[in-house]
A and B are shown apart, each in its own frame.
Chain A
């Protein structure tokens, strides 16, 4: 064989080549020699001298292929004629078509290879020159009447035009009948299935070589009709089921059908149809009957029918807005159940009931959402919404403000004070209280209550465990940030610092060879951090017995720090007094004022009330309440029924008590809880203003210049963790910062501020 272009007689060469082409297409065996010489024939035609004959070869081959396909089509006509007669006839056509297609597409692949030279040198080159023309580089303006394709592609196109164009509708009709049978009685043989699958995919494969629109035939010829037929099937199935199914049964059936259809789609269709078929099934069986599905929603939620809810979720999840109603119903249910659980709480332990009942509701629904709704964030946010709404709503009487903050704080106080549980149990409960805490809008109100209760625990040594106190403060810090717990933390640290100070003081006394007459333990608190209110109107003439230790400690303290002054909170002090009477001695724990009163009787047996009060310089309130407790204990005797200025007090020398060590618990706090709550709330307002001012300074320092509305938005988003400030309050704070010259209005705009460094 020679690679040099030669003069050839086309008809001769094509005559030989054509025989091979025919064998290849019919999948008859071709001898290697014949194959090789045919391969060369293609080459020599394409490079023939003087004129290449590639175009002629192309059109002869095209004609040949067309004739080949036409004759195949003719063979099918007999099956088409009797297609209405018998089922087997129909199946026959599908089978015949499929096997013809299989052979043809296989033969075409070989043929494409045989025409390698034509495909690569002639057709590809032609495509390149086409591009040149398009971009204006070409030197020979060449008009191409008809675009040429590679032989394989040409063969597929011929099949599409001559075979599928003619037979398509009948094929599709029969495919759909087959699928219908598969749906109804599932009786297709594996050969039937392979055939249907093959025929369907032939619609894809004839256009598969195209880069764009390769599914166009599949979609227009087959997919649309398939979806329509499937839709009708689903509609009729749905109405059949609706006639005798409960919602629960219906859902199970639909889920089963969805699964079956998924299997079916994989079995027969092109992968692009799987989602579409699923969507069709959902539209016809779920969306069209949404109201039916919703009809028992409420009952499922309230009766905790988890299987049904799980099915409902699975079905509604893919539907646009399908879950909305379910979520709304769940939200209402949680709200109602939550509100009910904390309604009409009575007794001493309202705070415990409040937190634990609310937690129970929260846990129940959180668990439901995890187990049934796949932890769907939409459901979780409904849970949050519902809990927040319950916890922040006013209690049933409608008059009082929301007490949640106070109750949750009290719950923690109770845990940290009473030591019945183990440390681990307490910590777990504290963590859970944070769950409820997070829903409180006015977290700063909680903080106020918490800090008051913490102050009492720390001052009166009532904490179960100092480590737990710190653990809890850290939990709050984690939830709300440093600022929120700043003061709590300072209180906590004061206790540690005080312990240290006491040790240093004792060491100091030892060093200077001094000794106190009493066993002294002092707590030094920093003003501002502790919520103790103003101490101004509390007067007290400190008895001599206390003077000496106080002076010594103050002297020691002033050498340790500069610029500090100490004031003594005697109303918070307590101690042990040894009372030695004729028969017995007693060690009695009592408050400082009570000790001071008793100490007056060291050297005299009787005293007039007025005298006692004036010596001690106590205000009437404090005087009355502490004296009363001593009278109640019968340590002091009084000659009148009520305490009056002229009443005569005498020490009860006959006093007896079975116990030698005991405690007088004179009303430690006279403040009624209601007063305390009101005080707390007014304090909250002051702190909010400071918080907002700090926030504004922080924001303005970072941003330098900001519009009014932008500033408001930033403030709202920053303070969200603590409370929801009112706009008038924010405006007041902005004004006050302008007064103090931290910020100013910019010259060019009245609603813009800039930071003053």
Chain B
């Protein structure tokens, strides 16, 4: 992953004599992508923290459970396609089994990995 690396070999080493058929050839591309949960909103409507971050309760406990925080606080999608921290929606449905955003009956579609 050397951005300035000039030392790597050409994949298809041209010889200088023959005229190249293309004027521009893409040799190397260092690209950057960002991943996020495939959610319609960035923030969890229950704790109002970004879904990419751990939920408020998990952040509060981070001091005790430092390393596997990301593993424990996953995102949960309902059949209605709304998504929340799994921690947050699990507590929510104990009070009312409806999606806080659309009031449909809550059932889990999938969890993030």
Contacts and interface: CB of A to CB of B under 8 A. Distances in A.
Contacts of B26: 517-518, 545-546, 575-578, 595, 599
Interface of A: 459-461, 481-483, 486, 490, 498-499, 502, 517-530, 532, 535, 545-546, 549-550, 553, 557, 561-570, 572-581, 585, 587, 589, 592, 595, 598-599, 601-602, 651, 661, 663, 690, 693-695, 697-698, 701, 736, 740, 742
Interface residues of B, number: 50
B3 A697 contact: no
A576 B2 CA distance: 11
B1 A528 contact: no
Contact of B35 (A483, A524, A601, A694): A524
A693 B56 contact: yes
Contacts of B35: 524-527, 557, 561, 564-566
Contacts of B25: 577-578, 580
Contacts of A527: 34-36, 50, 52
Interface in B1-27: 1-4, 6, 8, 11, 14, 16, 20, 22-27
Interface string B45-71: 011111011001101111100100110
A563 B112 contact: yes
Contacts of B24: 577-580, 598-599, 601-602
B21 to A, nearest CB: 9
Contact of B34 (A530, A579, A592, A698): A530
Given A563-B111, A564-B112, A460 B3 contact: yes
A602 B24 CA distance: 6
Interface in B85-102: none
Contacts of A565: 35-38
16 contacts: A518-B29, A519-B11, A519-B28, A522-B31, A527-B36, A528-B36, A564-B37, A564-B38, A565-B35, A568-B34, A573-B30, A576-B27, A576-B28, A601-B24, A602-B23, A661-B6
Contact of A521 (B1, B14, B77): B1
A553 B34 CA distance: 13
B23 A579 contact: yes
Contacts of A693: 56
Given A524-B33, A524-B34, A578-B27, A742 B56 contact: yes
Nearest to B49: A690
B27 A461 contact: no
A522 B28 contact: no
Contacts of B1: 461, 498-499, 502, 521, 523
A460 B31 CA distance: 10
B52 A528 contact: yes
A557 B35 CA distance: 10
Given A499-B1, A563-B37, A566-B33, A519 B56 contact: no
A655 to B, nearest CB: 11
A142 to B, nearest CB: 75
B34 A521 contact: no
A528 B53 contact: yes
